[in-house]
């Protein structure tokens, strides 16, 4: 080293006791995929803890949709909101979770632009851990949002015939479908890491899924082309399946199967895409 | 391009270099961010990568740290290929970015804990390591506060601490002091010296000649995605000159006389400024800093002896701009021709 270094070295420089730290040895084993994912999940939960307003979307949307649509349409369609709840609540539950998924995508898009993301990418961990960890915390959010809808429904007078098992099965199905959508937004966010872009694209996809569906009305009164869309719309099938499970109505095995197939298909495609984009990013 | 400085690389032993890159190319759209970078960094060395914004410094680091794939060329880091053996490299290098790569919402402690877990530390040793690092980097008091509230210097220290959660064999520091106040800057410099002294190879990018001078044993100057010069600090300075001398006279009539005296005393070309009282010259670099003062003092004495009245003398460090002008040959400075032999 050249001499000026010694000359300008600050006299009052703290003695950093880092020398001993630098001799520490490296862990022998690589972090497992699940441990890494769980750590990213924990990171997301810590972020919520420090910034609880992140939960606003998971709280406001379920309340808004459930209350608003019940009283807006309930009287007009079924004569009273009470009767309508049985039909509507499984649908608003499905729709609320579907809408809430896009905010997770926006958060991921935000995350991807930070230096922290670069640091994570420079670690020797499974490349899917970052996104999977995000999904773990998303799952917690969706369960939380589902609980809000169900409790609101109970308060408003909804009595599911399927009981707790039916409700839990419906919530599980809806959350699984929601997580497949989360993977879709994750892929979008990795491709275009801009929260506003992710929200716009998610809206373009989710609005037709939500409204051109059987969530609010049965499709019999719709024109043929719209009925055709409603019938292939996976959110319709999720809502139908949730109705069947929650109300113990039976005859919805087809929709349950359809929902699971759609969930699996979206998950497979988007997971592969997200993994590819994660590696390629930068 | 100009690689006239034959380094004494690989001369010490048969060890594989920490970094060996050949012809790295990266293209973003129309722009060739890297246009054939060759680089060899010895193990244990502090290597400086000097260049202006947009020269390709960060892109090079991203490729070497396996964050970005090159479009052309090859690179081996710690003996592993940057494309096919990424995980082997990732296990042994750390990157500290230009912008503090920390989660703003999380506390300093939580940031380190999470990185420790991702590195495979056990829960207990991760906590221990976080506590030790926070203490060592003088951040214990701030450990429980979200990083968003940290000062620039604190963030940078935490960022470097985060790179040491597991001691890396090779540390990439991308502009570690950009935007820091002088005190924080000297703290970071001290840290870099300690890390290097403990055996970690450091590749440091900087826009500041002084920083490269302070820290790096070997410096590559990069511009438009190419290495335009390489050598030790002393070798580069000898090409750049040690600085610029500006003299303002009391009487413009004496300027030709002053020009003659300065040219003779300092052995260089004296430029006549637009100001009729002013002269300037790029100084060739002598072996060490004290000689500049002696030479300039001597020249001032000669002016005084000739009764040339001097109103103002300014001796400036060579700026990166001047270094650049000299090294890239965009202007014909006297230093580029005079002192090829110094410190060779």
- B190 lies within 8 A of chain A by CB: yes
Residue B147 has pLDDT above 60, yes or no: yes
Three-state DSSP class for A42? helix
- A15 lies within 8 A of chain B by CB: no
pLDDT at B270: 85
Kindly indicate the confidence band of residue A71, based on its pLDDT and cuts at 50, 70 and 90. confident
CB contact under 8 A, B194 and A43: no
pLDDT at A25: 60
pLDDT at A279: 81
Q: How many CB atoms lie within 10 A of CB B151?
A: 12
Question: CB-based contacts of A270: which residues, under 8 Å, 6+ apart?
Answer: A180, A183, A184, A186, A187
- B83 lies within 8 A of chain A by CB: no
| Strand pairing report for B226-231 and B218-223 | antiparallel
Residue B14 φ/ψ, nearest 5 degrees: -85, 5
Q: How far is CA A76 from each of CA A68, A81, A217, A236, rounded to the nearest angstrom?
A: 13, 9, 11, 21
Q: Which of A5, A114, A121 sits opposite B214 (nearest CB)?
A: A5
CB contact under 8 A, B162 and A119: yes
Average pLDDT over residues B184-190: 87
Residue of B260, B256, B276, B278 lying closest to B268 (CA atoms):
B260
CB contact under 8 A, B133 and A8: no
- A116 lies within 8 A of chain B by CB: yes
Question: CB-based contacts of B46: which residues, under 8 Å, 6+ apart?
Answer: B192, B196, B201, B202, B204, B215, B216, B217, B218
B-chain residues within 8 Å CB-CB of A33? none
- A46 lies within 8 A of chain B by CB: yes
A-chain residues within 8 Å CB-CB of B103? 43, 47, 114, 116
Q: How far apart are CA B335 and CA A120, in angstroms?
A: 45
Which residues, in sequence order, are bridge partners of residue B47?
A: B203, B218
What is the 3 state secondary structure string of B259-316? HHHHHHHHCCCEEECCCCCEEEEEECCCCCHHHHHHHHHHHHHHHHHCCCCEEEEEEE
Q: How far apart are CA B68 and CA B60, in angstroms?
A: 9
A-chain residues within 8 Å CB-CB of B95? 118-119, 122
Question: CB-based contacts of B208: which residues, under 8 Å, 6+ apart?
Answer: B177, B320
B-chain residues within 8 Å CB-CB of A9? 186, 190
Q: How far apart are CA A276 and CA A274, in angstroms?
A: 5
- Percentage of residues in chain A having pLDDT higher than 70: 87
CB contact under 8 A, A116 and B166: no
- A4 lies within 8 A of chain B by CB: yes
A-chain residues within 8 Å CB-CB of B200? 22
Residue B220 φ/ψ, nearest 5 degrees: -110, 130
Residue B138 has pLDDT above 90, yes or no: no
CB contact under 8 A, B115 and A119: yes
pLDDT at A266: 96
pLDDT at A219: 84
Is A2 exposed, middle or buried, given 0-12, 13-18 or 19+ CB atoms closer than 10 A? middle
CB contact under 8 A, B90 and A122: yes
For the whole model, what pTM was predicted? 0.78
pLDDT, tens only, A95-140: 999 999 999 999 999 988 887 888 888 888 998 999 999 999 999 9
- B213 lies within 8 A of chain A by CB: yes
Kindly indicate the confidence band of residue B4, based on its pLDDT and cuts at 50, 70 and 90. very low
pLDDT at B324: 65
Q: Decide which of B185 and A267 is more confident.
A: A267
pLDDT, tens only, B16-68: 899 999 999 999 888 889 999 999 999 989 999 988 888 899 899 999 999 88
Residue B244 has pLDDT above 90, yes or no: no
Q: Which of B119, B129, B187 sits opposite A123 (nearest CB)?
A: B119
Phi-psi region of A28 (alpha: psi -120 to 50; beta: other; left: phi over 0): alpha
CA distance A276 to chain B (A): 13
CA distance A37 to chain B (A): 9
Where do runs of H (alpha helix) occur along chain B?
Answer: 57-64, 86-90, 108-118, 123-136, 152-163, 182-197, 209-215, 233-240, 255-266, 289-305, 320-328, 335-338
Residue A263 has pLDDT above 60, yes or no: yes
pLDDT at A8: 42
Kindly indicate the confidence band of residue A64, based on its pLDDT and cuts at 50, 70 and 90. very high
Q: Angle at which helices A234-247 and A81-112 pack, to 10 degrees?
A: 130
- A114 lies within 8 A of chain B by CB: yes
pLDDT at A90: 93
Opening angle at CA B286, ends B282 and B288, nearest 5: 120
CB contact under 8 A, B103 and A116: yes
Average pLDDT over residues B190-209: 89
Residue of A142, A43, A150 lying closest to A92 (CA atoms):
A150
Long-range contacts of A220-226 (CB under 8 A, 24+ apart): none
Boundaries of every domain in chain A? 32-280
Question: CB-based contacts of A271: which residues, under 8 Å, 6+ apart?
Answer: A128, A183
Q: How far apart are CA A274 and CA A184, in angstroms?
A: 8
Q: How far is CA B299 from each of CA A272, B237, B262, B292, B296, rounded to the nearest angstrom?
A: 72, 21, 6, 11, 5
- B214 lies within 8 A of chain A by CB: yes
Q: How far apart are CA A191 and CA A131, in angstroms?
A: 13
CB B22 within 8 A of CB B75: yes
Residue B91 has pLDDT above 50, yes or no: yes
Opening angle at CA A21, ends A18 and A22, nearest 5: 90
Residue A242 has pLDDT above 90, yes or no: yes
Look over chain B and give the mean of its residue pLDDT values, rounded to a whole number.
82
The ipTM of this complex is 0.83
CB B188 within 8 A of CB B100: no
Residue of B62, B11, B56 lying closest to B36 (CA atoms):
B56
What residue in A sits closest to B88 (Cα-Cα)? A124
The region of weakest confidence among A14-28, A172-186, B20-34 is A14-28
Residue B339 has pLDDT above 50, yes or no: no
CB contact under 8 A, B194 and A19: yes
| Strand pairing report for B72-77 and B80-81 | antiparallel
CA distance A179 to chain B (A): 24
- A34 lies within 8 A of chain B by CB: no
- A121 lies within 8 A of chain B by CB: yes
Residue A250 has pLDDT above 90, yes or no: no
- B253 lies within 8 A of chain A by CB: no
Kindly indicate the confidence band of residue B2, based on its pLDDT and cuts at 50, 70 and 90. very low
pLDDT, tens only, B278-321: 988 877 655 555 577 788 888 899 999 999 999 999 887 665 56
pLDDT at B12: 38
A-chain residues within 8 Å CB-CB of B165? none
B-chain residues within 8 Å CB-CB of A112? none
Kindly indicate the confidence band of residue B333, based on its pLDDT and cuts at 50, 70 and 90. very low
Average pLDDT over residues B87-113: 87
Which residues, in sequence order, are bridge partners of residue B270?
A: B281
């Amino acid at each position: 080293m050249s001499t000026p270094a010694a000359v300008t070295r600050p006299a009052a420089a703290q003695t950093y006791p880092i020398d001993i730290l630098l001799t520490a040895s490296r862990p022998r084993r690589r972090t497992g995929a699940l441990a890494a994912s769980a750590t990213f999940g924990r990171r997301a939960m810590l972020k919520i803890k420090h910034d609880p307003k992140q939960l606003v979307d998971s709280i406001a949307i379920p309340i808004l949709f459930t209350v608003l649509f019940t009283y807006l349409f309930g009287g007009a369609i079924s004569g009273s909101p009470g009767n309508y709840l049985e039909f509507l609540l499984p649908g608003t539950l499905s729709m609320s979770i579907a809408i809430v998924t896009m905010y997770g995508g926006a958060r991921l898009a935000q995350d991807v632009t930070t230096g922290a993301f670069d640091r994570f990418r420079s670690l020797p961990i499974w490349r899917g851990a970052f996104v999977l960890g995000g999904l773990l915390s998303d799952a917690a959010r969706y369960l939380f949002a589902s609980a809000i809808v169900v409790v609101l429904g109970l308060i408003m007078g909804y009595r599911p015939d399927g009981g707790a098992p039916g409700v839990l099965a419906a919530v599980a199905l809806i959350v699984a479908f929601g997580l497949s959508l989360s993977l879709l937004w994750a892929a979008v966010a990795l491709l275009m890491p801009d929260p506003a872009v992710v929200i716009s694209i998610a809206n373009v996809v989710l609005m037709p899924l939500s409204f051109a569906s059987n969530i609010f009305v049965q499709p019999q009164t719709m024109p043929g082309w719209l009925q055709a869309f409603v019938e292939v719309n996976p959110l319709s099938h999720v809502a139908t399946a949730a109705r069947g499970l929650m109300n113990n109505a039976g005859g919805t095995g087809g929709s349950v199967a359809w929902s699971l197939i759609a969930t699996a298909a979206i998950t497979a495609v988007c997971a592969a895409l997200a993994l590819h984009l994660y590696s390629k990013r930068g | 391009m100009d690689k006239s400085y034959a380094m004494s690389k690989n001369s010490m032993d048969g060890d594989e270099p920490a970094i060996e890159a050949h012809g790295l190319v990266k293209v973003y759209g129309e722009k060739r961010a890297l246009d054939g970078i060759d680089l060899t960094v010895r193990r244990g060395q502090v290597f400086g990568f000097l260049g202006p914004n947009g020269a390709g410094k960060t892109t090079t680091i991203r490729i070497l740290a396996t964050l970005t794939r090159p479009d052309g060329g090859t690179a081996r880091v710690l003996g592993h290929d940057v494309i096919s053996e990424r995980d082997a490299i990732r296990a042994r290098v750390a990157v500290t970015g230009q912008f503090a790569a920390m989660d703003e919402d999380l506390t300093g402690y939580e940031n380190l804990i999470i990185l420790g877990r991702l590195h495979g530390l056990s829960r207990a040793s991760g906590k221990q390591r976080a506590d030790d690092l926070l203490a060592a980097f003088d951040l214990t008091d701030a450990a429980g506060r979200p990083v968003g509230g940290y000062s620039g210097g604190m963030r940078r220290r935490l960022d470097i601490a985060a790179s040491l959660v597991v001691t890396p064999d090779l540390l990439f520091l991308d502009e570690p002091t950009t935007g820091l106040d002088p005190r924080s800057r000297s703290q970071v410099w001290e840290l870099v010296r300690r890390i290097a002294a403990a055996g970690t190879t450091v590749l440091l990018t900087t826009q500041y000649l002084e920083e490269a001078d302070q820290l790096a044993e070997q410096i590559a100057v990069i511009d438009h995605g190419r290495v335009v010069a390489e050598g030790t600090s002393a070798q580069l300075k000898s090409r750049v000159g040690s600085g610029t001398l500006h003299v303002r006279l009391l009487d413009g009539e004496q300027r030709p006389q002053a020009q003659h005296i300065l040219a003779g005393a300092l052995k260089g070309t004296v430029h006549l400024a637009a100001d009729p009282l002013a002269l300037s010259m790029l100084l060739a670099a002598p072996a060490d800093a004290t000689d500049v003062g002696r030479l300039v003092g001597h020249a001032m004495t000669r002016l005084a002896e000739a009764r040339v009245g001097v109103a103002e003398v300014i001796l400036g460090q060579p700026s990166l701009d001047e270094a650049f002008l000299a090294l890239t040959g965009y202007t014909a400075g006297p230093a580029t021709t005079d002192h090829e032999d110094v410190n060779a």
